[in-house]
Structure 1
């Protein structure tokens, strides 16, 4: 047969040969492709041809989801059990166990928690480099895994999980670089510890009300703490930190009604540790920092009494409580202790409102002062309305020779709740 066929307008077009089809790809490439499919679809590939009969067993990714099994969790259990039995412990690059709210009732029924724990353990045995476990929202799933051990695990993502006390002491995971924990119960966790960890994200998580969890991650480059419930964890030294974003939400107990009077003896947020600082000392080596709080927060007041020097800080964002706290002493304190600061952003919004005005200014060194960084190039004030609080901020900035504030009216532009660290 001629390798050419008559195309449009009489031109000849090449006929695709079998050598250029998917069948010409090596087994390793096909197994990698199958790893991006849901497990059920990957298994179905076995009917394509004799060559495909066993390829799915060695797929580099395993993605188990409850889609298609919302009405029958028993079928999902049976499918996954047979799947894992047939594929054995063939190595995995990625394993994802994801369950939707539709199976919430069944997933917590008798036998299911044990099954899911076994599937998680199986993924660890298969030397998974990326491991995700996403459970339904509304209830925390008990991950009965006392101590995680893996020389291969590099990325761990967990959602909707309740941890054992020592699970997050990750000294036996020497390759782990990224840990993301969302909507999880850490009330029994005394310490999060990893020498290798570079990126840590804790979002919407509950900590203990009776003690403070300590975070030991000396190699950390990126940190996100967003909407932490109960007691804020203690940050130990992080000399390599580049990006950090901290937002203390309304569910945090580190507040004090007596701070204005100076009597904090009855605070339930009082520090019970050998550390004099909860957050700021651990953040003192970061380059880019965002600090947000929705209420008058006790731990920030305590930290500011011994405010560290932010020796590498170049970009700073202060929002909500920070804009008006301590008669603006918070802003003053940090500015005086940030000798390399180049950009300062201050945000003040009424709850649920949108950005309507943005004012930009610059530092004019009319006379040399040690009270503010000589490297400061730009100051941005974002707000929904220029009220008395914003006016006080602007007046404070003027005392540091920050002038030439120009305003721009901006409509329909939302400011994100959290300034997330760069990946």
Structure 2
């Protein structure tokens, strides 16, 4: 007699253990998962089973993170061994983070980091991060050939002195960051050259962040695909002067342009969302406004206090006249380092006689600490463009 069939409420088959479930995944999926782990944790998985012995070598991510407990000499030897063992298997992401290390880097350590950076490029990495946030020190990417058809996103924090795409002798340095495939570029707290402007040629960029960098502001070449850009030029830039805000005095005349006319604005002219922030002694934007381009795609614009203090109201007018599709304008008229206490929102009332600003402009926001003479002048200017405000 055949055994009776179990009903729907009969005993279910036991579920697979967690180990057998993950072992059922293809190697490619496991290598992708391992790519999200810190490098040392990924390596430790080699003891799980024979199948796992070499999986970490082909992980799609490599995340080397220095901690405050790390001995620099030991860290250098460990990373060298790690990279030698894994070879040049392709990488999606590589992170080199050393912001948690208390000890300062020696010249030998810096040279070693350069080799690790080059190794990532050889692995056809698509997203590359190099981070150092020690106040007293910067990495020196000396004589680095940053040429890659695979790199899509690059973030550098605390990097010093760029001599890119170098030939055999110093006199023939190209002084450029060149990548036709790069999509996102973030350079913060880095040190550029004091003697020349580094050129950035990356026509495929969709996102650009330049913030809190030292010495010469880089020259941006044409970026037709740019969507989001945020530029902050600080007083540690060469493009600032204690004697003037225009770059016309004897101490700064002749070193500004480096045979270039527009340093930043021409390269930013295709951005859809743009933030321009500067400190009061920075003259780079005023110089650029002499060759102010048309921002043919820009829909949102943020301008800092500098545009109304160090410059004059003509600077705002110039930008508005050259932004035919602008929909939202934000003016941050707050003192340095403060959080605004007052916010005013304005509406544009188009009339036939007004041609100074975009007919698409819908939202105007002014952020400030208090309505003082400076803010009053800005409001008066905007009122001539048929913009009316309400207080919040």
Q: Which residue of 1 aligns with 2:286?
A: 301
Q: Which residue of 1 aligns with 2:209?
A: 224
What secondary structure, in the 3-state scheme, does the structure 1 residue paired with 2:79 have?
helix
- Give the CA deviation at 1:385: 1.1
What secondary structure, in the 3-state scheme, does the structure 1 residue paired with 2:326 have?
coil
Gapped regions of structure 2 (runs ≥ 5) = 1-8, 168-172
- List aligned pairs for 1:12-411, cutoff 5 A: 15-18=14-17, 21-67=21-67, 69-70=69-70, 72-102=71-101, 104-105=103-104, 107-108=105-106, 111-135=108-132, 137=134, 138-144=136-142, 146-163=144-161, 165-167=163-165, 190-256=175-241, 264-268=248-252, 270=254, 271-403=256-388, 405-408=389-392
Contact persistence 2:340–2:367 (CA under 8 A): yes
- What is the CA–CA distance in structure 1 between the aligned matches of 2:111 and 2:62, rounded to whole Å? 19
What secondary structure, in the 3-state scheme, does the structure 1 residue paired with 2:341 have?
strand
Q: Which residue of 2 aligns with 1:172?
A: none
CA-based RMSD = 3.1
Between the two proteins, the alignment pairs up a number of residues equal to: 376
Contact persistence 1:135–1:159 (CA under 8 A): yes
- What is the CA–CA distance in structure 2 between the aligned matches of 1:46 and 1:296, rounded to whole Å? 56
What secondary structure, in the 3-state scheme, does the structure 1 residue paired with 2:113 have?
helix
Q: Which moved more, 1:204-213 or 1:61-70?
A: 61-70
- Give the CA deviation at 1:16: 1.4
TM-score normalised by L of structure 1: 0.78
List structure 1 segments (4+ residues) > 6 angstroms apart after TM superposition.
Answer: none
- Give the CA deviation at 1:386: 1.0
TM-score normalised by L of structure 2: 0.83
Change (3 A) 1:60 1:238: closer
- Give the CA deviation at 1:69: 5.0
Gapped regions of structure 1 (runs ≥ 5) = 1-9, 170-187, 409-423
Deviations 1:35-58 (A, max 9, x none): 222222222223323333333333
Deviations 1:261-282 (A, max 9, x none): x892414164344433222222
Change (3 A) 1:148 1:30: same
Richer in strand (by share): 1
Change (3 A) 1:232 1:116: closer
